[in-house]
Structure 1
Amino acid sequence: MSAVLFAKLAAIGLIAGFGWVVGRMRWLGDERAEPARVLANAAFFLFAPALLFRTTARLDLAQLPWAMLAAYFVPVVAMMLGVYAWQRLWQVRRGLPVAAPSVRSISATFGNTLQIGVPVVSGVFGETGLGLLLTVISVHALVLLLVCTTLVELDLARAHAAPDSGLGPVLASTLRNALIHPVVLPVVAGLLWNATGWPLPGPLDEVLILLGSAMVPLCLTLIGMSLAYLGLPRSLGGALSVTLLKLLLQPLLVWAVAAGVFGLSGLPLQVLVVAAALPTGSNAMMFSQRYRALEAETTAVNVISTLGFALTVPAWLWALSRLA
């Protein structure tokens, strides 16, 4: 497993490094052209919708192990809401951007399930474990991006509403912006397509595959470009705090809920805990770029959590081998 993990971390580092070189050399323009933001918008409005629509349209909802998924997503979503509420209190004191609580909540919960999770789980738990992880991956982005998008759109609607407008206009604006949104709309469209039972036409499916496959390298490149353009934040306290939440608190919470509430044990429990212990995924970077909040900090979280995972995952695997 260590060789597989090292190879994946090296590949991720190299792709992010290419992005850093591109940003450092200003090959796509200087800061005034905002090339990183342009690429982030391309990911948010084009590549992510293609990936989300295809995933949702092809889900076999009847065959999903809902108890296992609940054992993972109940504690993860609860943690997302907890971090969001905590950051809402800090936002008032520290003058943070409107979208900052949502950005920090997704950074603390959205794992790198694909680039790192797949090779680690397959290397440690084999094909059976990988099959369980792929079930989590199939709805991972759908659930967490939907929740976080709703939170940030609610905050933006509240911030832009007139002081005497009341709750109705705020909720109406939130519903409109959350529904007509590059994350939510393709999920809704995918579910509607799924309900028809029709397979995706071959040419359409091929287009969606090609568009969706660009998400991973583009987001990794964005991390490197953001490092070149923004640098690291002057204080790493926020990034370190979010990293500790992601690498330590989230897997502990999933372990406690999955075993204590849902009664999971053995391989399913082990896979869920490792999935929760994964470093922050690059989608958090895309999210921060989209809403112009804590971009340097989110970049730092991506880098620090990925490096820290190499140290924490052996400890989690040792604990699971003794106690799970």
Structure 2
Amino acid sequence: MPDTVLDKLPALFATVLLGWAAARWGWLTDGRKGGAGGADPARVLSAAAQYLFIPALLFRAMARLDFAHMPWRTLAAYYGPLLAMVLAVYLVQRWRLHGAAGMALSSTQAAVPATRAVTAGFGNSVQVGVPVAAALYGEAGLAIHVPIVSLHALTLLTLLTVLAEADLARARLRHADGRGGSMAAAVRATVRATLIHPVVLPVLAGLGWNLLGLPLPAALDEWLRLLASAVAPLCLLLIGLSLGRQSLHGTLRGVFSIALLKLFLLPVLVLAAGKWVFGLEPLALSVAVMAAALPPGSNALIFAQRYRTLETETAAATLLCTLAFALTAPLWVLVLARIPG
């Protein structure tokens, strides 16, 4: 990979290592109280990311999005295979948890399918993806990559939040009445939980602001930008904190599956769709495939921590796939260079 890309990776790993050390040596805890007022520091930081910093990032991104100049064919070639794979992972995971007898998901299992799906699909399109696109393809490539980034949260996080909340609503109703509850009650619970979700609400609010044609005042834009700038380091610290508190025993099989899906299967699907279905020109095809080949993003861990499921597996997948990306990225660059234009 180009030096400008390799220069970014040590900073990412160093921040994760800092979080791991903080967990191992208790830098964020009060030995007399077992934490900040007895609270788990990882939970406190995760809540700050979920309710303060990520909403600012999402609202600002959606409010500033320029729909008039989006490369829709490239976006279709990227998001079509991505959504198909994510939904397939979700459905397979849900079927496996149901079992052959068709048993309902328990409340502790309900968010597992959506969490595995978001880890398999949500790429690190900013911290790793932006320098990759800029280094490999320059300003022209970055102009194609940025629209892909802009719709990432809107599509993946919103879709999988709805699926997770629907599964949770069904599980709660089944436990409440022992029969599964009414579909209407499940729908009401899902809609209510989705609309006030800290991912979906700022996306919808930002989208509404954008569609009304309202400009962001300079002071508001600067405040949102400042809050959004905390997302990357905070999420990387949380990966280290999660790894420092838990053993990786029992997670490596899931991590290996995520790596195969994210680093190999998804780029193959996007390559096939972009080349033979949408007929993308070489630059757009290369940018879309490299975006698909990115390792999981740290927002997947925030998703897992919100639903308190697969946290260690998600953190390990994010870290280890990022390490593996240093080897798989040059492979995809070589593959793309050999495809006739």
TM above 0.5, one fold? yes
**Code of the aligned partner of 2:135:** G
Asked if 1:170 corresponds to 2:186, the answer is: yes
Contact 2:170 2:180 in 1 (8 A): no
Unpaired segments of 5 or more residues in structure 1?
A: none
Asked if 1:309 corresponds to 2:325, the answer is: yes
Asked if 1:59 corresponds to 2:52, the answer is: no
Measured in 1, the distance between the counterparts of 2:180 and 2:97 equals 22
Measured in 2, the distance between the counterparts of 1:46 and 1:189 equals 15
- Pairing of 1:141-180 with structure 2 (within 5 A): 141-161=153-173, 162=177, 163-180=179-196
Measured in 2, the distance between the counterparts of 1:5 and 1:58 equals 27
**Could you tell me the TM-score, scaled by structure 2's length?**
0.91
Higher helix share: 1
- Pairing of 1:1-324 with structure 2 (within 5 A): 1-29=1-29, 30=34, 33-93=39-99, 97-161=109-173, 162=177, 163-323=179-339
**Code of the aligned partner of 1:91:** L
Measured in 1, the distance between the counterparts of 2:152 and 2:296 equals 13
Q: Which moved more, 1:254-263 or 1:94-103?
A: 94-103
CA deviation string 1:269-321 (max 9, x = no partner): 00000000000000011111111000110011011100111111111110100
Task: Provide the residue aligned with 2:102 in structure 1.
Answer: none
CA deviation string 1:243-292 (max 9, x = no partner): 11100001011111122221113000000000000000000111111110
**The residue matched to 1:115 in structure 2 has which SS?**
coil
CA deviation string 1:48-73 (max 9, x = no partner): 11111111111111221222111111
Measured in 2, the distance between the counterparts of 1:265 and 1:108 equals 27
Contact 1:232 1:297 in 2 (8 A): yes
Q: Which moved more, 1:218-227 or 1:30-39?
A: 30-39
For residue 119 of structure 1, report the CA deviation from its aligned partner: 1.1
Deviation beyond 6 Å, 4+ runs, structure 1? none
Measured in 2, the distance between the counterparts of 1:38 and 1:236 equals 27
Q: Which moved more, 1:51-60 or 1:228-237?
A: 228-237
Measured in 2, the distance between the counterparts of 1:36 and 1:281 equals 18
Contact 2:242 2:315 in 1 (8 A): yes
**The residue matched to 2:28 in structure 1 has which SS?**
coil
Contact 2:2 2:136 in 1 (8 A): no
Q: Percent identity?
A: 50
**Code of the aligned partner of 2:61:** T
**Code of the aligned partner of 1:52:** L
**Code of the aligned partner of 1:6:** L
**The residue matched to 1:126 in structure 2 has which SS?**
helix
For residue 153 of structure 1, report the CA deviation from its aligned partner: 0.6
In the alignment of these two chains, the number of paired residues is 324
Unpaired segments of 5 or more residues in structure 2?
A: 100-104
Q: Which moved more, 1:27-36 or 1:259-268?
A: 27-36
Alignment RMSD (CA, Å): 1.6
Measured in 2, the distance between the counterparts of 1:273 and 1:98 equals 32
Measured in 1, the distance between the counterparts of 2:329 and 2:180 equals 51
**The residue matched to 1:114 in structure 2 has which SS?**
coil
